[in-house]
Structure 1
Amino acid sequence: MKSTYVYYAGLILVAIIWGANFGISRWAMEVFSAEVFVFLRFSLAIPLLFLLLYKLEGGIKVEKRDLLKLAVIGFVGVTVLEILVMYSIKYTTLANASLLNVAPWPIFVALFAPLFTKEVLTKKIVVGGAIAFIGVALIILGGSNSFDLSSQYMLGNLLALLVSLLGAFFNLACMPLMKKYSAMRVTTWYILFGSVFLFPFTLRGWSEVQWSDLTFPIYGAIFYNVILCTIVAFVVWNLSMNRVGATKSNFYRYVVPAAAAITGALFFGESIMLTQIIGAFVIMSGLVWIGLDRKKGKATDYVTKEKLAN
């Protein structure tokens, strides 16, 4: 049996990929509207996901009774969440959105996990999560923008908080299905449904795209989003979450702000404050502490390839 540390490394890798994408996506946003770019990210990944699924598992089918569940998960986890993220950023500050989108998410997962799984919330997870939360706050609030609770940002703040709440339910709703199917199969099908539901929101944006303005960095941003942010990240995250447990896994989202800050410094000349560096070390300390917890939350093995193919 492989050490669970491999899966913890997978969670950190995915968080870094997602965090770096905050900066990389800026290039594509110069040409595409947010709705169109998000649709391209997921829809272009669908053929590759189904091809990989067929090659690796010998089939792509799921039972008809599970299609509705996958459709609901895709609608919430891809369509609704991506739209909420966009509008939360539009109606509040970036600091507010970053903190409220990321920080409460693992807390909501920990609170609601008993409704979906048999995971145990231990003292190590609580202490490590609290330490990591402090690190996130130091990174976000230690930047050039500060957290602002003014009434003019209330709508955006509420939308950002809703992202965390729905995101937690989205992650947890995947867990029962991953007792029956592989992470690859669950991911592929809910991304398909999420993309279908997302398409109507892009109809106004296609006419505004200046296709002649596409440059190498923009193509690179599309490739990064399709291959790394979607195919690699979603599959690795779901696989790792299934093995480690939803509660522990989602605290590793706290790596995302640190990765975003580093990407901004490397590619866009943004400054990194001492407070943010301290915050990064605090986050890693909390996550290491969580990783030392030995109580497992009923991580489940996948069904066999023969069962999946039937």
Structure 2
Amino acid sequence: MIILAYAIVYIVWGSTYFFIQKALSGFPPFLLGAFRFIAAGILLMGWSVIQGEKILVGKKIIPSAITGFLLLFVGNGIVIWVEQFLPSAMVAILISSAPLWFVLLDKPKWQENLNNKLAILGLVIGFGGVILLFSERVTSAMHSINSGRDLFAMGLILFSAAAWAGGSLYAKYNASNTSPTVNTSWQMMTAGVAFIPGLFISGELSSFDISAVPLNAWLSVLYLVIFGSIVAFSSYVWLIKVQPATKVSTYAYVNPVVAVLLGILFGGESISLTQISGLIIILGSVLLINFDKYRSPVKTTSASA
């Protein structure tokens, strides 16, 4: 089950960057976020009711609501908004900095992580990789008309990665004994509702024409609801409870590979050698950060023997 959950998070989430951009061809960002997560939340709640689970438990809803707000509204919502004007491959690569945030924000594990020489080396190398990754985009943005917007978008994506790591760690250390399905459904409903004010502030509803939405946008939304939200996010919520947070964060170095391949094969996107170099450096840093996590099961087994 753990291997299957990792495979789902690695592959399915890597594809969501591509499908988000396709969905944005017919849906404005706030409407897309509200529709996607409310639909997924309703489906999961319905399944929970069918299974005879209690869904209205006040004290247990609050941690799920906080997690959903940080992960899906702040973390994923920023990605949805930014993908209006940044290529999906670029967004996916920038999000690959998330494992660095996991190490920095995991306070209960600071002594373990920060006293780990490989983890510190990984952080330093990862920082260099992020600088290299941003270099061409920042340089070109400064000389373009939309430089301010592009730089702001880059800063938002970094904040998105930090919010995602923070929300994941909050979920790990404040998990209730409610079923994962119920927890996930409330996380999605909270995020979906949080998107609604943006509909009115941005004026998206007044300009939205449902009859003009192309079929590929509808199919992309369907994929995001079923696979991106229900299947992959549920797998992630379960993994973050049963596995070390830094190890689960390794999804971030597989997702960009999938996203880049899809963007190149189907989206007509391109990626430079400098960006590839930055991505490789970041991936190497994540491997260093998690190196002891990979070795620990072997050590434990030897000690037990």
TM-score under structure 2 length normalisation: 0.75
Q: Unaligned 5+ residue runs, structure 1? A: 1-5, 297-310
Query: Partner residue of 1:188?
Result: 185
Whole-Å separation in 2 of the counterparts to 1:141 and 1:53: 43
Matching residue's letter, 2:295: D
Matching residue within 64, 70, 75 for 2:69: 75
- The CA deviation at 1:233 is 1.1
Contact 1:183–1:235 (CA under 8 A) maintained in structure 2: yes
- The CA deviation at 1:245 is 1.6
Whole-Å separation in 2 of the counterparts to 1:47 and 1:218: 21
1:161 aligns with 2:145: no
Query: Partner residue of 2:301?
Result: none
Instruction: Quickly say closer, same or farther: Cα 1:25–1:95, change in 2 above 3 A.
Output: closer
Query: Partner residue of 1:222?
Result: 221
Whole-Å separation in 2 of the counterparts to 1:246 and 1:192: 24
- The CA deviation at 1:280 is 7.5
- The CA deviation at 1:162 is 1.7
Query: Partner residue of 2:39?
Result: 44
Matching residue within 160, 167, 170 for 2:167: 170
SS for the counterpart of 2:156 is helix
Instruction: Quickly say closer, same or farther: Cα 1:21–1:34, change in 2 above 3 A.
Output: same
Query: Partner residue of 1:305?
Result: none
Query: Partner residue of 2:48?
Result: 53
1:110 aligns with 2:92: no
Whole-Å separation in 2 of the counterparts to 1:270 and 1:235: 30
- Spell out, residue by residue over 1:120-156, the C-alpha distance to the aligned partner (whole angstroms, 9 max, x if none): 4356666677778888888x669xx634484735433
- The CA deviation at 1:39 is 1.3
Matching residue's letter, 2:199: T
Instruction: Quickly say closer, same or farther: Cα 1:16–1:236, change in 2 above 3 A.
Output: same
Instruction: Quickly say closer, same or farther: Cα 1:177–1:49, change in 2 above 3 A.
Output: farther
Contact 2:69–2:190 (CA under 8 A) maintained in structure 1: yes
- The CA deviation at 1:234 is 0.8
Query: Partner residue of 1:307?
Result: none
Instruction: Quickly say closer, same or farther: Cα 1:13–1:81, change in 2 above 3 A.
Output: same
TM-score under structure 1 length normalisation: 0.74
- The CA deviation at 1:93 is 8.5
Q: Unaligned 5+ residue runs, structure 2? A: 299-305
Matching residue's letter, 1:78: L
- The CA deviation at 1:96 is 7.1
1:146 aligns with 2:137: yes
- The CA deviation at 1:170 is 0.7
Query: Partner residue of 1:65?
Result: 59
Contact 2:99–2:246 (CA under 8 A) maintained in structure 1: yes
- The CA deviation at 1:292 is 2.2
Contact 1:16–1:256 (CA under 8 A) maintained in structure 2: yes
Matching residue's letter, 2:214: T
Query: Partner residue of 1:256?
Result: 255
Query: Partner residue of 2:302?
Result: none
Whole-Å separation in 2 of the counterparts to 1:183 and 1:249: 17
Contact 1:174–1:186 (CA under 8 A) maintained in structure 2: no
Contact 1:95–1:141 (CA under 8 A) maintained in structure 2: no
Whole-Å separation in 2 of the counterparts to 1:124 and 1:181: 37
State percent identity of aligned pairs: 24
SS for the counterpart of 1:44 is helix
- The CA deviation at 1:38 is 1.4
Contact 2:126–2:286 (CA under 8 A) maintained in structure 1: yes
Task: Select the structure that is richer in helix.
Answer: 2
Matching residue's letter, 1:146: R
Query: Partner residue of 2:20?
Result: 25
Matching residue's letter, 1:183: P
Whole-Å separation in 2 of the counterparts to 1:62 and 1:106: 34
Matching residue within 291, 294, 298 for 1:292: 294
Matching residue's letter, 1:197: A
